[in-house]
Chain A
Amino acid sequence: MNNNIFELNNVHLSYLGRHPALCGVDMTIGSGEKIAIIGANGTGKSTLLHLLDGLVFPHQGQVKAFGQVLNEEFLRDEENSRAFRRKVGLVLQNADIQLFCPTVREDIAFGPLHLGFEQDEVQQRLKRASASLGVEHLLDRVPYQLSVGEKRKVAIASVLAIEPEVIILDEPTAGLDPATIRQVIDLILEANQRGKTIIMATHDLHLVEAVADKVYVFSQEKKIVRSGAMEEILYDMTFLQEHNLIHAHNHQHHHQVHSHPHQHFGHRHE
């Protein structure tokens, strides 16, 4: 029995037949893994996440999810799509897109409700998800008037309420303050300990260091240039610099200017 969750084989995808977004991606993601996808802007990270969530489909190559080919035809079947969407949850980068309901309560309940759970079960999940993010006090608020951090927490809660096996996150820490970032990291780690597979795209190398055990690096050619264990990639300065993941900057020490790669990670938290 093979416990691979996703298998991507030479995946190509382009928008409107003109703009290439992914050019030949191979990937295998196993159950319980913590994957980070890094790469400069415009390297196809978000597209890949949408692909894994069954929102866009390859024009060439194949995506397999839970051992089955994931394509439009497969998801058109209501049973299949419901089973798949109960197992995979995606937290979008833009919380204003993710939160489209008139109240926070409805936003968190939207997933379970539309995935066919009973009203009682929906209420239970609403309670659990909002408690795990500490957003119970926001339930009757309108999502558009929340702060950036609150929005992000509610967005994550709206996916956790589905209680999926795989949690996909697009830039989960962008624009958050350090305390909230820490909260998000703990939450991801805790979910992983309960057996959830984590896949995230990010620019935040601290987050990668704190969470990921495997890293994929995407290049401007919109494919994977390197993959491997977190330590192996994150401590290879020359490689990271080459792919615009870190930048050199100048420091002044006692009136002497010297330059070194910008690096604030590398010190593991105890």
Chain B
Amino acid sequence: MIRTSSLRNGSFIERSLLAAVSFIKEATLFEEYASRQGFMQGLAPGIKILTIFLLILTAVILKDLALIGLLYGLCLALALFSEIPITFFLLRTLIFIPLFSLFIAIPAIFSSVSPGQVLRQIHIFGITGMITSQGCQSAALLVARITTTVSLAVLVSLTTKHAELLKSLRHFGVPQIFVMTVSMCYRYLYLFAVMVENICGAIKSRVGIVIPHKRGQKFVAWNIANIWSRTNQMSEEVYRAMLSRGYTGEPRSLQRIKKNE
């Protein structure tokens, strides 16, 4: 997605750096919240995920704004009881997806998109727009639903250790080999984020701010190509590390024992 920059030409480095850094920060932060002693953290991961999934599905199916609002309230209460700082939670869930959806939903209140019973006529820049009841309803429904579902999804990933969250996918019939692949993806994503952080951090401290866009494009492409060729090598090395410890292509998982044993 394009982001217009009021800053300067070297900002693509900063944006890349930011993507890497915010991933690293978030991975650490999520891990910390997941190990707090809150209500949601105490639930068994399988049951928790099933419940949240059903709640998300309910939010998608419900047509009544008040009921969706109730669900959202429930979600905020759960976050509160799970020792998640509420300002952080609101910022993390409201910015971007719901905000963007609000922006998307605005044209839908007008009769050109949603024909129906006209509530009001407004004039902007010489254009007459007719706000319809149906338009308002469907726009509000869209935004409310998205806010609720995103909040519920973030809540579950904030209060469950990622390793357990992925392991519980097994209860839903997801094959073990896929779960193993997703877990490993996340683990190496962290390593890659550190790599990107180092590359962009080094460039940022060395090069002046103005980089002609052609050179910048080449810089980015060269680094992606370079990381790819290391990626390939890394995959082979990890395969050998697995082989060395007895892996033959059939994943086996550790059975959980009670914590107080």
Q: Residues of A with Cβ closer than 8 Å to B? A: 50, 53, 55, 78, 81-82, 85-86, 89-90, 92, 94, 96-98, 100-103, 105-106, 109-111, 113-116, 119, 122-123, 140, 142-145, 158-159, 162
What per-residue 1/0 map shows which CB atoms of B229-250 lie under 8 Å from chain A? 0000010011011111111100
Tally inter-chain residue pairs, CB-CB below 8 A. Answer: 89
B3 to nearest A CB, angstroms?
29
Q: Given A101-B187, A102-B166, answer yes or no on A85-B241 (Cβ-Cβ < 8 Å).
A: no
Interface residue from B28, B162, B245 paired with A158 (Cβ < 8 Å) = B245
Interface residue from A55, A92, A105, A162 paired with B254 (Cβ < 8 Å) = A105
Q: Given A100-B187, A101-B183, answer yes or no on A106-B163 (Cβ-Cβ < 8 Å).
A: yes
Can you report 19 A-B residue pairs in the complex whose CB atoms are below 8 A from each other? A50-B240, A53-B244, A55-B243, A90-B244, A96-B191, A97-B241, A100-B238, A101-B187, A102-B163, A102-B186, A103-B161, A106-B254, A109-B254, A122-B254, A123-B257, A140-B35, A142-B163, A143-B187, A158-B245
Kindly list chain A residues whose C-beta atoms are within 8 Å of the C-beta of B163. Answer: 102-103, 106, 142
Interface residue from B184, B241, B243, B246 paired with A116 (Cβ < 8 Å) = B246
B260 at the interface (CB under 8 A from A): no
Closest chain B residue to A122 by CB distance?
B254
Give the contact-size bracket for chain B.
Answer: 20 to 34
Interface residue from B27, B31, B237 paired with A97 (Cβ < 8 Å) = B237
Contact A144 B244 (CB under 8 A): no
CA distance A55 to B237 in the complex (A): 10
Kindly list chain B residues whose C-beta atoms are within 8 Å of the C-beta of A144. Answer: 187, 190-191
Kindly list chain B residues whose C-beta atoms are within 8 Å of the C-beta of A92. Answer: 237, 241, 244
